[in-house]
């Protein structure tokens, strides 16, 4: 089942999911429309502050972010320019959720699935690694969560997996830390901070040193979180708006 699901996602007939092929004009327009609609909706629901866009390199890179809730992937996509194409890395079982699978396919968002039990599906894992390398080789951006799971505390990072560093070193592209603050609990007009740090050059680094320096850079970007006072309209509903995305994003570790 998992192999069939993976192959259907990577079908060359599905450009949005098949890897970093140059998108057709039709699919590009579809993605631009979805991005605009999602951005407008999220700007109504929440208050946004995005810092450090000038730090983004002009070419391919590996974006790493902390992970707190479903909003994180939307926040990353909102903070980055529409070009070059951004590919999110996530657990393959998100495609078992019918509505999310439909949304990923129809929106044109870039998505590279990774199996949770990678030892059980080595062929699918190899395909994912090749897709990541091809993505970067063709000038696209790869975005992932190196903690590999959802954190429970604002301003604190879990230990990092090393997959992102191996990808960046193999492709010789910089790692860009992106700090997300305010997404753990959500309510109407909650203030969300997205802070983009300076790129980390992998040249001369080992896998371990790049993991360590990247984690330290991301931790420095995270502000001290101070819980807001006052009414928190819609907190329960907005916090759990997309339950399947609270623990399904991943990095390319193992």
Averaged confidence pLDDT in the chain:
84
Closest CA to 177 of 68, 89, 61: 61
Q: Which two tokens stand for residue 165?
A: 């560093």
Pairing of strands 86-91, 47-51: unpaired
What is the model's pLDDT at position 27?
55
Give residue-wise pLDDT tens across range 60-93: 999 999 999 999 999 999 999 988 889 999 888 8
How far apart (Å, rounded) are the C-alpha atoms in residues 98 and 91?
Answer: 15
Measured in whole angstroms, how far is the alpha carbon of residue 253 from the centre of its chain? 14
Chain centroid to CA 111: how far? Answer: 9
pLDDT at 121: 67
Taking only the tens of pLDDT, the chain with its 254 residues reads: 333 333 333 333 333 334 444 344 445 788 888 999 999 999 999 999 999 999 999 999 999 999 999 999 999 999 999 888 899 998 888 888 888 888 888 888 888 988 877 666 678 778 888 899 999 999 999 999 999 889 989 999 999 999 999 999 999 999 999 999 999 999 999 999 999 999 999 999 999 999 999 999 999 999 999 888 889 999 999 999 988 776 544 344 44
Predicted pLDDT at 90: 86
Nearest to 169 by CA among 76, 61, 58: 61
Q: What is the pLDDT of residue 124?
A: 75
Domains of the chain: 2-245 (3.40.1010.10)
The confidence score (pLDDT) of residue 114 equals 86
Give the bridge partners for 191, in sequence order.
Answer: 47
Distance CA 67, CA 156 (A): 10
């Amino acid at each position: 089942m998992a192999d069939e699901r993976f192959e259907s996602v990577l079908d060359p007939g599905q450009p949005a999911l098949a890897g970093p092929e140059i998108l057709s004009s039709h699919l590009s327009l579809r993605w631009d429309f979805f991005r605009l609609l999602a951005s407008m909706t999220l700007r109504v629901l929440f208050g946004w502050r995005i810092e450090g866009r000038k730090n983004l390199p002009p070419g391919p890179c590996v974006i790493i972010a902390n992970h707190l809730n479903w909003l994180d992937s939307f926040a990353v996509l909102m903070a980055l320019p529409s070009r070059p194409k951004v590919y999110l890395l996530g657990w393959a079982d998100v495609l078992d959720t019918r509505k999310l699978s439909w949304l990923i396919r129809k929106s044109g968002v870039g998505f590279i699935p990774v199996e949770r039990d990678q030892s059980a599906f080595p062929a699918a894992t190899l395909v994912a690694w090749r897709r990541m390398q091809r993505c970067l080789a063709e000038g696209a951006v790869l975005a992932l969560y190196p903690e590999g799971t959802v954190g429970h505390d604002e301003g604190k990072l879990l230990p990092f997996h090393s997959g992102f560093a191996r990808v960046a070193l193999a492709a010789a592209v910089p790692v860009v830390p992106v700090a997300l603050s305010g997404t753990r609990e959500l309510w109407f007009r909650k203030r969300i901070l997205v802070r983009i740090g300076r790129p980390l050059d992998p040249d001369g680094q080992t896998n371990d040193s790049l993991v360590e320096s990247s984690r330290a850079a991301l931790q420095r970007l995270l502000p001290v979180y101070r819980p807001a006072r006052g009414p928190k309209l819609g907190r329960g509903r907005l916090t759990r708006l997309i339950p399947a995305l609270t623990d399904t994003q991943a990095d390319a570790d193992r």
